[in-house]
Amino acid sequence: MLARAEATVLGLKDVLGPLVADFAARGESLYLVGGPVRDALLGRLGHDLDFTTSARPEVIQEILAAHSSAVWDTGIEFGTVSAQIAHQQVEITTFRADTYDGVSRNPEVRFGDSLDADLVRRDFTVNAMAVELLDDAASGFSCRFHDPLGGFQALVDGVLDTPDAPERSFDDDPLRMLRAARFVSQLEFRVADRVVAAMTEMAGQIKRITVERVRAELDKFMEGRAPWLGWDLLVATGLADLVLPEVPGLRMTPDEHLQHKDVYAHSMTVLRQAMDQEEDGPDLVLRWAALLHDCGKPATRAAKPGGGVSFHHHEVVGAKLVRRRMRALKYSKQMVSDVSQLVYLHMRFHGFADGEWTDSAVRRYVTDAGDLLPRLHKLVRADCTTRNRRKAARLQANYDRLQDRIEEIRQREDLAKVRPDLDGNEIMAVLGIGPGPQVGKAWSFLKELRLEEGPLEHDDAVARLKDWWAGQDDASGADA
């Protein structure tokens, strides 16, 4: 692992060599640090490189300006200057020796004078390793590995632990408790017992963190390769009760088929199966919908006569819960709309699973899903978690038939744009009315007609509109 990491870092000599030489010329040290070191050891170094240095921010800025026209200093008050050099995003920070007030997560910034003091203030030992970059005129630069806190062994053992006592680390910055879940999700590591104990005891400290920070961290671990492990940690420590109580609320709520320990276990399986269908990397909309698709079940649980339970309309209740929770976490309107709509629609298929899909039902399914249809396909398929192979095969075959019906109708008509056969101007011209509520009612009638019967010829649409309008007049007269 060390040899691989060294070869990876030295492979960047064209980008980093001149930078290392300039820091050395100023008598300053430069270290690759944190996540990039960890990732280099794991053989997956990306294009974001973090460094720490003895140089003060103004010196960093001067050196970077000589190597890049894209330099930004938005973090300079914290000792950080960033730049784009070739295809790498470089972030360099002066050694830090911060202190915290125990109220917010914002430190009182103090610049330090040693690498070890800088490393001990980091979140986890696997992120507290450094590679010193030494100027070498012959080869560009050479490397020296620094690991004063045992991060390498922790990486080999797959253990997440804090450099300092976890109580002190989490008191300094409670967001680190959510980061633990993120790294569990990304790396599939085991969390040290003392860290789990501290997270459980200090879970309430997460209230010091803004919802924007919480949301960002949740998204990062939801993008990991095993987010269910992150949720297991948050649920076990009580943190989930504070950041997203709908998730732990699924525990010990038996599903109606009694196929899983509880709805929580079922939801994690659905999340895993939805991820298996992703095509272009993590799809947060799909993942959130898979996780929360059954969050309405606890509120709708009812005993069935003769045994078992039901969850009638849990998709409606769940969609409302999703909207409320995601708004509280300050997600974008689009994100809230997309995830809640998938939750709302995920049971629609089951109303027709063993029956014949009429043209009208197919049109409504496609229209209600809109751009979310590909994700809805994946969510519904992922929601099949039965261990009964015959039943699972039947459900998947039924969904295959639905997709075939969608394609069959799509060949005949434009399912992507199911609109009334007459627009607002045509409606007003046919009925001889001006703008107002009646135009909207007429438009809704034609839209319903379009969904039910498909496209109509123009003259047929006009005739049907006139018939409807005459009925409206009759109804108005009767009311009068």
3-state helix/strand/coil string of 242-284: HHCCCCHHHCCCCCCCCCCCCHHHHHHHHHHHHHCCCCCCCCH
Burial class (CB in 10 A: 0-12, 13-18, 19+), 430: middle
Q: Among 78-87, 216-225, 323-332, which stretch is predicted with the lowest mean pLDDT? A: 78-87
Place 270 in a pLDDT band, splitting at 50, 70 and 90: very high
Higher pLDDT, 124 or 479: 124
Q: Residue 299 carries which side chain, given as an amino acid letter?
A: A
Place 256 in a pLDDT band, splitting at 50, 70 and 90: low
Place 480 in a pLDDT band, splitting at 50, 70 and 90: very low
pLDDT in tens, 301-318: 887 787 777 788 999 999
- Which residues, 6+ apart, have CB-to-CB distance to 126 below 8 Å? 38, 151, 154, 155, 160, 183, 187, 189
Domain 158-243 = CATH 3.40.47.10: no
The answer on pLDDT for 441 being more than 70 is yes
Place 408 in a pLDDT band, splitting at 50, 70 and 90: confident
The answer on pLDDT for 477 being more than 50 is no
Q: Mean pLDDT, to the nearest integer, of 399-416?
A: 83
**């950080």: which residue's tokens?**
80
The answer on pLDDT for 354 being more than 70 is no
pLDDT in tens, 125-164: 999 999 999 998 777 789 999 999 999 999 999 999 999 9
Domain 2-156 = CATH 1.10.15.40: no
- Beta-bridged to residue 50, according to DSSP, are 91
Pick from 121, 221, 131, 136: which is nearest to 170 by CA?
A: 121
The answer on pLDDT for 292 being more than 70 is yes
**What mean pLDDT is reported for the chain?**
89
Concatenating the DSSP letter of every residue in 34-84 gives SHHHHHHHTT---SEEEEEESS-HHHHHHHHHTT-S-EE-TTGGGTEEEEE
Domain ranges of the chain: 2-156, 158-243, 278-418, 419-479
pTM: 0.85
Most confident region among 208-222, 242-256, 379-393 by mean pLDDT: 208-222
Higher pLDDT, 229 or 405: 229
The answer on pLDDT for 475 being more than 80 is no
383 DSSP assignment: T
Q: Among 165-169, 270-274, 356-360, which stretch is predicted with the lowest mean pLDDT? A: 356-360
Place 179 in a pLDDT band, splitting at 50, 70 and 90: very high
Q: Mean pLDDT, to the nearest integer, of 366-388?
A: 91
What percent of the chain shows pLDDT beyond 70? 92
